[in-house]
């Protein structure tokens, strides 16, 4: 029997079908962020009339579709500027849906207050990497590479107690059912628990919790280090069969197979930010890898026991 339990008393929220339709639009925008999109195109994805779609999207997301797309493009460009100093600014602008570099430059400076080139030059001041390096500067906390004969893979080890293992590997593709939360990543704990319980109640009613490869993931779509608002997207996910139908507030998403760094931590609730700091401030600078431009997630291996969580922090990577 699966150790994850659901609270069966959770009541469904109103307007679940509206939320489902807007989530489909958000997923569509994510997949097509580098392309031009029209209001008519997005309204067709939502199956709302184009005369009402804009207002419905604004009421649920808190931004108009145009504002939302503009913000995501600028945040993605900022993430790319920080992640890869070898890619030209014009190439990054093109990848993020801008065909005119002057328009990109004007929008970037308006929202971030500095030019894209200055943002890149000052990346360590604009991110928390320098602070992390000073916070975690002890020699014994730095990861050391070694070859694991049992798995025939390169792994990393560290004397930092909460880090249990670190390895880079290809993960298979997954289909997940999700409930999406929008707001600060360290946001409303009660809302998170309600969403999680509702998701698990849905999964339990379809006998998914006892599936052999069942997984519970928390997937993050945005980079909080470059975010222009607190309207961050987090999807609470359970793995499902590819052909399973979903409805209402439960969405369906495909996570492509790619290469991840898997950092397994055993930690308490107040130590999650320290774990993320260690990965970005210690592991990445010593690894030969950089973060790839894809969503990252936490995989909860077992339910917490005595306040301790066992979690794989999974971040897509590519060689420097």
Q: How is residue 217 annotated by DSSP?
A: E
Q: Are 179 and 16 in contact (CB under 8 A)?
A: no
pLDDT of residue 127: 52
Fold of domain 16-125:
Arc Repressor Mutant, subunit A (1.10.10)
Q: Is 214 helix (H, G, I), strand (E, B) or coil?
A: coil
Cα–Cα distance, 42 to 33 (Å, whole number): 12
pLDDT of residue 292: 87
Q: Which helix (H) or strand (E) holds 313?
A: strand 308-319
Cα–Cα distance, 9 to 198 (Å, whole number): 9
Question: Which residue ranges in the chain fall short of pLDDT 50?
Answer: 1-14, 128-140
pLDDT of residue 4: 46
Q: Are 158 and 144 in contact (CB under 8 A)?
A: yes
Contacts by 142-146 with C-beta closer than 8 Å and gap 24+?
A: 142/282, 142/286, 143/282, 143/283, 143/286, 143/287
b/e 227-252 (16+ beta carbons within 10 angstroms → b): beeeebbbbbbbbbeeeeebebbbbb
Tell me how far CA of residue 125 lies from CA of 86, 225, 285, in angstroms: 19, 11, 16
Q: Are 185 and 220 in contact (CB under 8 A)?
A: yes
Q: Which residues contact 291 (CB under 8 A, 6 or more apart)?
A: 83, 284, 315, 316, 317
Q: Which residues contact 43 (CB under 8 A, 6 or more apart)?
A: 49, 50, 53, 54
Cα–Cα distance, 166 to 158 (Å, whole number): 9
pLDDT of residue 249: 86
In the chain, which residues fall in CATH 3.20.80.10? Answer: 168-319
Which residue is it, tokens 């993050």?
A: 220
In the chain, which residues fall in CATH 1.10.10.60? Answer: 16-125
Q: Which helix (H) or strand (E) holds 22?
A: helix 16-31
Q: Which residues contact 203 (CB under 8 A, 6 or more apart)?
A: 6, 177, 209, 238, 240
Of the candidate CATH numbers 3.20.80.10, 3.40.50.620, 3.40.640.10, 3.40.50.10210, the domain formed by 168-319 belongs to 3.20.80.10
Cα–Cα distance, 231 to 222 (Å, whole number): 9
Which residue is it, tokens 């000073």?
A: 134
Cα–Cα distance, 275 to 284 (Å, whole number): 13
Beta strands in 39-162 (DSSP E): 144-148, 153-157
Q: Which helix (H) or strand (E) holds 309?
A: strand 308-319
Cα–Cα distance, 148 to 202 (Å, whole number): 40
pLDDT of residue 40: 95
pLDDT of residue 149: 53
pLDDT of residue 109: 95
């Amino acid at each position: 029997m699966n150790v994850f339990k659901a609270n069966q008393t959770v009541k469904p929220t109103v307007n679940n079908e509206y939320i489902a339709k807007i989530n489909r639009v958000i997923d569509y925008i994510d997949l097509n962020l580098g392309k031009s999109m029209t209001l008519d195109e997005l309204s067709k994805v939502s199956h709302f009339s184009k005369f009402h779609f804009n207002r419905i999207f604004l009421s649920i997301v808190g931004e108009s579709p145009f504002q939302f797309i503009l913000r995501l493009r600028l945040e993605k460009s900022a993430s790319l500027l920080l992640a890869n100093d070898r890619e030209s600014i014009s190439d990054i602008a093109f990848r993020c849906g801008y065909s005119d570099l002057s328009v990109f430059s004007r929008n970037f400076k308006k929202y971030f207050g500095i030019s894209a080139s200055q943002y890149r030059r000052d990346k360590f001041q604009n991110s928390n990497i320098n602070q992390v390096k000073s916070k975690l500067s002890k020699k014994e906390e730095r990861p050391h590479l070694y070859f694991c004969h049992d798995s025939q893979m390169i792994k990393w080890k560290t004397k930092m107690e909460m880090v249990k293992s670190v390895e880079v590997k290809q993960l298979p593709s997954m289909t997940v059912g999700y409930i999406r939360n929008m707001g600060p990543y360290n946001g409303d704990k009660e809302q998170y628990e309600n969403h999680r319980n509702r998701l698990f109640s849905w999964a339990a009613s379809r006998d998914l919790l006892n599936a052999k490869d069942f997984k519970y993931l928390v997937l993050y779509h945005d980079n909080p280090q470059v975010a222009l608002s607190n309207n961050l997207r987090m999807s609470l996910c359970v793995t499902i069969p590819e052909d399973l139908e979903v409805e209402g507030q439960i969405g369906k998403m495909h996570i492509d197979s790619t290469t991840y760094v898997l950092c397994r931590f055993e930690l308490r609730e107040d130590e999650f930010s320290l774990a993320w700091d260690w990965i970005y401030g210690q592991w990445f600078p010593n690894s030969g890898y950089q973060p790839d431009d894809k969503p990252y997630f936490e995989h909860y291996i077992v339910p917490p026991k005595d306040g301790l969580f066992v979690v794989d922090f999974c971040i897509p990577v590519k060689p420097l």
